[in-house]
Chain A
Amino acid sequence: MSQEDILAGLAAIVNEVAGIPAENVQMEKSFVDDLDVDSLSMVEVVMACEDKFGVTIPDTEVKNLNTVADAVNFIAANK
């Protein structure tokens, strides 16, 4: 799965969970500051990513996922 595919899948999840337009979900964006994804929505995003990409994202890792790129890179490296 390419980085583009992961980004597209993640954008679809963020759209479904938080109602953010998928095209706004870009690599350099911060979940909290740019996309207005609150901590509860972030838990939902993580759960949906685990299901969609077959990865495990431990709670200790979630706090390091500040930007979309952080999440895409983590998924790419761990799937």
Chain B
Amino acid sequence: MSRTVVVTGLGATTPLGGDVSSTWEGLLAGRSGITILEDPKFAELPVRIAAPVMVDPSEVLEPHEIRRMDRSQQLALIAAREAWADAAVDSVDPTRLGVAVATGVGGAISLMEQYDILKERGASRVSPMTVPMLMPNGPAAVVGLEIGAQAGVHTPVSACASGAEAIGYGAEMIRTGRADVVVCGGTEGCIHPLTIAAFAAMRALSTRHDNAAGASRPFDRDRDGFVMAEGAAIVVLESEEFAKARGAKIYATYGGQGLAADAHHIAQPEPEGRGVILAMNRALADADLSTKDIFHINAHATSTPAGDVAESKAIRKVLGADADHAPVTAVKGATGHLLGGAGSLAAIGSILALRDRKVPPVANTVNLDEGVDVDVVLGEARDLPAGDLAALSNSFGFGGHDVVLAFRSV
């Protein structure tokens, strides 16, 4: 049994805005959501650049909701509520309603806060919500409770590919008949001195303190690392049959997914793009697409020296001459890197590009690295042609995870 899956709802809270429309507008305009961290707790760090969400959860949620949820859960809930309202599913059998919401890091901030309390005030003052707040499945559980999902609540974890893997997982729940509707995507909320120090210790982060807004520049020859961001991006998937029966608005068709692993290094990308190529080819096959159908790629490109060129080479290798009609963008120039939320944000970028026939530029990137032999959109948004188009959305994660999603226009 394999059923067609469609996208019927979108939700996001990101460094560019507190919802999908402001985020998409920011992406199309090439605006940067990246800033210097002014809080004194970051003062002694080698990196003080990050991309916090533009609308703090405390402005949206009730105080008791904030108190009971880790920041990653708060952000996931905000995005899920928007996506769920957008899809406007008025009636679904709860046993046919699922959730797949991922995170890369999970409730690290809550864990560290409670450890501080343990040290300073003793075990009797450690919050009874500590475990629900730190567990990586917490964001999925929070979303599942919100909508009453009983078909299954899941949390794929694959670092910065997690959000994409969750969408692929959710789509499989529908394809294989386990569910009719699945709320899926990714979230991250772990901007903290320790996480920044840790990524900085890997020499993974940009140190462009004299131009923080321009610190993330995927594919640029002067890129010097990624920028840590936070946020969540959630989509509602449905079986085409279910969506059409209820007259739902459909953004795009989910085509398929390609999964692979580099089998190379715990953090370094495989320089020839072996896993990336395998995953892209598998996504094309799973979606029953040929390279001729691909008119857009939302690249993973994080602005690290090693990753971006390797990815561009992989894209050229997979698409060959057809890469010439597939303009490439990367949202991380504008948003920084949402880690567990990155893959689903890239997916939303691909979905909206297909709907609006418009590909956002890579924010901040001016001079393409000479190793980049694909059509990267710079400066202004690029129009896509009319007709049936497909797009790929690439997501990779520390550990060598490669996840590629395919979407088709409607």
Contact = CB atoms under 8 A, between A and B. Distances in A.
Interface of A: 15-19, 40, 43-44, 47
Contacts of A43: 128
B64 A16 contact: yes
A15 B125 CA distance: 19
How big is the B interface, by class? 10 to 19
B128 A17 contact: no
Contact of B124 (A16, A17, A19, A47): A47
Interface of B: 62-65, 67, 124-125, 127-129, 132
Determine chain B's interface SS by DSSP, over half rule.
helix
21 contacts: A15-B64, A16-B63, A16-B64, A16-B67, A17-B64, A17-B67, A18-B64, A19-B62, A19-B63, A19-B64, A19-B65, A40-B128, A40-B129, A40-B132, A43-B128, A44-B127, A44-B128, A44-B129, A47-B124, A47-B125, A47-B127
A19 B69 CA distance: 13
Nearest to B124: A47
Mostly, the A contact residues are: helix
Nearest to B63: A16
A75 to B, nearest CB: 17
B120 to A, nearest CB: 13
A18 B66 CA distance: 11
Nearest to B129: A40
A13 B62 CA distance: 14
A47 B121 CA distance: 12
A16 B129 CA distance: 14
A43 B131 CA distance: 14
Contacts of B132: 40
Contacts of B64: 15-19
